[in-house]
Structure 1
Amino acid sequence: MTLIGYAFLTALLVASEVSYLRLAQYFGIVDRPNERSSHRGQTTIRGGGVLFWIAAWGAFVFTYFDFPYFFAGLSLVAAISFLDDLHSLANRYRISMHFIGIGLMLYQTTGFDLEFWMMGVLLIIGVGILNAYNFMDGINGITAFYSLVTVGTFWYAYLQHLPEGAINNALLPFTLVAVLIFSYFNARSRAICFAGDVGSVSIAFIILYALIVFIKASQTYLPTLFLAVYGIDSVLTITHRLYLRHNIFQAHRLHLFQLLVHKKHWSHLRVSALYALVQLGINGLVLAALHRPLVNQLTLAAIILSVLASMYVVVKSRLMKVNLETTEPCHGSSISDG
């Protein structure tokens, strides 16, 4: 697409975001902080990340409906997530739509040409990634910065390492423009809007689609490390809460990024930038190793995951000692941004 085309796309997406913000303000679609929240004494527009779905719709139309099953799956998870933003829904409704959406994505990318047990494993992993990405959306800028790094890396990697046509050539650049625009409204000390479940789940769905296509085309699982920072924080936090015998579906503030804000008293944007920069460094190592022998790739993966896990355990242990009562579970909705 030409520079003029991107300028036109940017104008349309900005207009879409501003229109949504006005409608959301009129209808009272705002985030009210609960016990899990890292925001206090403020109400902020919720669901600004609907722009990610709009960008995907634009790419879908621009390419003459090139990926119908993916877009159908994205629309399903975005719709149920937006309803959840408006009125909290039971987990069974959300998770059911997530499984259907991931199933449609897998049909788009694999045609179900896999063993039955493998399809089941991929469905569970896919739904887990969607929800992990959603739960990590807790402070200003973290979804914006992390998604900029991840989507940008995928776009660069497709241009440099994969043959033309490996993925729809509009989805990633359209999404990247949308994330940049969203960042303007969200990545600030007092956010104008939060992504909402509709935003965090939609961008996770797009990233997961790009990841599956990349793995299939490159014949290596190493690009999974493009989600390493979020993955380590999510998995180890869940493990910690299971050890403490907490209800993992209950609201809490035990993620490392939450402790850095509440115990270390770092600003939201400082923590968000740290997560994004660490992931950017990892992505660079992954891209450099894409065509290395398998043993080199496995060694790199082991080193990266070991270092991240060690950092998580050491830093979190020190922060938890500051105030042991932070290990108590919070009683509130687990579906609040921030």
Structure 2
Amino acid sequence: MQEITVIFISAFIALFLARKAAIKVGLVDKPNARKKHRGHIPLVGGVSIYLSLWILYILHSEWLPDFSLYMVCASALLFVGVLDDRFDLPVMPRVFLQALVASIMMYSGLHLASLGNILFGYELVLGWAGYAVTLLAVWGAINAFNMVDGIDGLLGALSCVTFGALAVMFYLDGEHELAQWSLCLLAASIPYILLNLGIPWGQKFKVFMGDAGSTLIGFTVIWLLIVATQGHDAVIRPVTALWFIAVPLMDMVTIMTRRIRRGDSPFKPDREHLHHILLRAGLGPRQTLLAIVGVAFIFALVGIIGERAGIRESVMLSLFLLAFIGYFWSITRVWRLLTWARRGSGQSEHLRSNVSQTPLNK
């Protein structure tokens, strides 16, 4: 508990210090056609979490396997992420760096060697294909948590659900140091969530995570999930990991599928994510936040219950796929209905405008 308190306080201090520095160097998010916030908001959420991780490393470098190597990868990702936030780098340098840190991670022996007994009781061993799958998993986790960062508090809260679920499973399996590491990461995220939501000082000290932060969180999540699911010391089965990141994963796959079917790049920014759809459907920002985080919590809870109850992996995978199909179908349907409604409203407004501008004697 003492370490968690230290990390929480250090993250708060780092957040205020980084905020001042960011304003001076122009590391801020400016409003545009897609971003509706007011003013220039410092992009320092990831920086504060990263700095607090150094405090944790100094205090307990033994808590996380290959902690030193993790910090090397995290430092590289954060550095390039900050440059991207400041200067809007092209996609390819970021993709290359993510592949590089994934390679470093795999060189240390941390990779997806098995997907568990998902083939009706038979283990799916990946062999050499495991390295390619690990690379895709790193890219997927980073992009999933990057894409979900669209409304105040959402990225931080969803990451806390994942870190909290992992902490529970590490603790129940006797891996107390990894459980504390996960809780410290959760504690480091809370100051960002508070300031991002305007608690308790309103908009005066508001901050955003930035791509540097979402990249750091996504990479940290996949690092912990691989630690938790692979090898003799695994505490959960690989299928359980899907439930812990269900919402970011489902949202990413759904939005990318929709973009590809439309003929756009899967990485093209838009306002069609889950949080955008819920906002357009009439929910307020806080209601949308609570709804999405509530769903993520339920998914994580299902994963924990399934793991502890020993439900067969093939059954848990089937349930996850059914949940994803239901999510995909319902979100796609709602999105289409809202699109049609908006078009109808726009046409009606256009007709009313034409009528009002038409001379009465014509």
TM-score of the two chains, using structure 2 as the length reference:
0.81
Decide whether aligned partners of structure 1 residues 6 and 295 sit closer, same or farther in structure 2, where only a CA change above 3 A counts: closer
Decide whether aligned partners of structure 1 residues 268 and 131 sit closer, same or farther in structure 2, where only a CA change above 3 A counts: same
Structure with the larger RCO, 1 or 2 (CA within 8 Å, 6+ apart): 1
Deviation string, structure 1 residues 38-65 (Cα, Å, up to 9, x no partner): x244321123221221232222222236
Decide whether aligned partners of structure 1 residues 224 and 92 sit closer, same or farther in structure 2, where only a CA change above 3 A counts: same
Partners of 2:265 and 2:210 in 1: how far apart? 22
Q: What's 1:83 paired with?
A: 83
Decide whether aligned partners of structure 1 residues 219 and 228 sit closer, same or farther in structure 2, where only a CA change above 3 A counts: closer
Partners of 1:313 and 1:122 in 2: how far apart? 29
Q: What's 2:252 paired with?
A: 234
Deviation string, structure 1 residues 145-196 (Cα, Å, up to 9, x no partner): 1112111111112111x3326x745431221111111111112485701000
Residues 157 and 293 in structure 2, CA contact (< 8 A), matched pair in contact too: yes
Partners of 2:245 and 2:180 in 1: how far apart? 22
Decide whether aligned partners of structure 1 residues 70 and 148 sit closer, same or farther in structure 2, where only a CA change above 3 A counts: same
Q: Which amino acid aligns with 2:60?
A: T
| Corresponding residue SS for 1:110 | coil
1:213 paired with 2:227, answer yes
- After the TM superposition, which residues 308-327 of structure 1 pair with which residues of structure 2 at under 5 Å, given as runs? 308-324=327-343
Q: What's 2:191 paired with?
A: 181
Unaligned stretches of 5+ residues in structure 2: 114-125, 345-362
Residues 52 and 178 in structure 1, CA contact (< 8 A), matched pair in contact too: yes
- After the TM superposition, which residues 75-224 of structure 1 pair with which residues of structure 2 at under 5 Å, given as runs? 75-108=75-108, 110=110, 115-160=127-172, 162-164=173-175, 168-188=178-198, 190=203, 192-216=206-230, 217=234, 218-224=236-242
Residues 47 and 85 in structure 1, CA contact (< 8 A), matched pair in contact too: no
Deviation string, structure 1 residues 270-319 (Cα, Å, up to 9, x no partner): 21221111010011111111122234323322332233223322322222
Which range moves more in the overlay, 125-134 or 272-281? 125-134
Partners of 1:240 and 1:111 in 2: how far apart? 30
Partners of 2:296 and 2:85 in 1: how far apart? 28
Measured after TM superposition, the shift of residue 123 of structure 1 is 0.4
Decide whether aligned partners of structure 1 residues 121 and 7 sit closer, same or farther in structure 2, where only a CA change above 3 A counts: closer
Measured after TM superposition, the shift of residue 112 of structure 1 is 8.8
Partners of 1:55 and 1:111 in 2: how far apart? 26
Partners of 1:141 and 1:312 in 2: how far apart? 21
| Corresponding residue SS for 1:199 | helix
| Corresponding residue SS for 2:168 | helix
| Corresponding residue SS for 1:35 | coil
Number of paired residues?
320
Unaligned stretches of 5+ residues in structure 1: 326-338
Q: Given the alignment, which residue of 60, 63, 76 partners 1:63? A: 60
Residues 136 and 230 in structure 1, CA contact (< 8 A), matched pair in contact too: yes
Partners of 1:41 and 1:182 in 2: how far apart? 18
Partners of 1:249 and 1:305 in 2: how far apart? 21
The structure having more radius of gyration, on CA atoms, is: 2
Partners of 2:41 and 2:108 in 1: how far apart? 36
Residues 147 and 203 in structure 1, CA contact (< 8 A), matched pair in contact too: yes
Measured after TM superposition, the shift of residue 109 of structure 1 is 5.1
Residues 82 and 197 in structure 1, CA contact (< 8 A), matched pair in contact too: yes
Measured after TM superposition, the shift of residue 96 of structure 1 is 0.8
Residues 144 and 186 in structure 1, CA contact (< 8 A), matched pair in contact too: no
Partners of 1:91 and 1:282 in 2: how far apart? 32
Residues 85 and 196 in structure 1, CA contact (< 8 A), matched pair in contact too: yes
| Corresponding residue SS for 2:34 | coil
Partners of 2:6 and 2:56 in 1: how far apart? 13
Q: Which amino acid aligns with 2:328?
A: A
* Runs of 4+ in structure 1 over 6 Å off: 111-114
Q: Given the alignment, which residue of 46, 49, 52 partners 1:49? A: 46
Residues 69 and 107 in structure 1, CA contact (< 8 A), matched pair in contact too: no
1:294 paired with 2:292, answer no
